[in-house]
Amino acid sequence: MKRTLIIMRHAKTNAQEPGQLDYDRSLTGRGHRNAVDMGIRMKEKSLIPDLIIASPAKRTRQTAEEVAGVLGYDKSKIKFVKGLYHCTPAIFEEVIYETDDKVHTIMIIAHNPGTSDFANQLSPVFDVDDLPTGAVVAAYVDAKHWTDFSSAGKEVFFYTYPKKEL
C-alpha cells in the first residue's frame, strides 16, 4: 500500500528577543505569506493530509494553522506533539509509528536540524544540507502499516520551498 508522508520546516520567524523563550518566537509577515504559499503549492499537487501533526511551539503552530487553512483542513484537528520541538529523526519515526493506519497521508511540521536530518533519511537520492524555512518534502511510503515505516521503501517525489522557482 502506498502512503504519503509530508515533512515541513516551520516558516520564517522573528529573531529571538532578549528574555524571550525560543519556543515563543512568532512567524514574520513573510513567514505567514510563505506558509500560505506552501499550502497552495501542496493543494496544486493534491497533497492533502489526512492528519497534520506539529510541534506546539508558536512558529510551528502558526505554520500549521496557515497551511491547514489553505488546504481546508480543520485547524482544531491539528495534533500537537511536544516531543517534536527540536527533536531527532527517531522522534519523527515514533510519531509515525503511533499513527492510525486509517490515515494515508501524514504531514509533520517541526524544526531544524531535525526536519533536515529526517528528510535526508527518506531516500538515498535526496540530500539537502539545510531545509530552508517553509520547505516541504513529500515521500511515498510503501507500507501496509505505519509501524512498518522504518523498513518500508520510500521515494521522495516532491520538494519545494518559498524561494524556489516553479
Q: What confidence tens digit (pLDDT) does each residue in 74-128 have?
A: 999 999 999 999 999 999 999 999 999 999 999 999 999 999 999 999 999 999 9
Q: Tell whether 41 is covered by a domain.
A: yes
Q: Tell whether 129 is covered by a domain.
A: yes
Q: Tell whether 58 is covered by a domain.
A: yes
21 φ, ψ (degrees, to nearest 5): -75, 140
Residue 1: band (very low, low, confident or very high) from pLDDT cuts 50, 70, 90: confident
* CA–CA distance, 23 with 85 (Å, rounded to integer): 8
CATH of the domain at 91: 3.40.50.1240
Q: What is the mean pLDDT of the chain?
A: 96
Domain total of the chain: 1
* CA–CA distance, 152 with 122 (Å, rounded to integer): 10
DSSP 8-state code for residue 102: T
Predicted pLDDT at 166: 65
C-alpha distances in angstroms, 163 versus 42, 82, 112, 135, 160? 15, 29, 18, 9, 8
Q: Tell whether 101 is covered by a domain.
A: yes
Q: Cα dihedral sign for 83, 65, 33, 40? A: positive
Q: Tell whether 166 is covered by a domain.
A: no
Q: Tell whether 119 is covered by a domain.
A: yes
Q: Tell whether 31 is covered by a domain.
A: yes
Q: Tell whether 165 is covered by a domain.
A: no
pLDDT at residue 47 tops 90: yes
Query: Is 30 within 8 Å of 12 (Cβ atoms)?
Result: yes
Domain that residue 122 falls in:
2-15+23-160
DSSP 8-state code for residue 47: -
Predicted pLDDT at 165: 76
2 φ, ψ (degrees, to nearest 5): -95, 120
The model scores a pTM over 0.85: yes
Lowest mean pLDDT among 16-20, 26-30, 42-46, 137-141: 16-20
Q: What is the CA radius of gyration of the chain?
A: 15
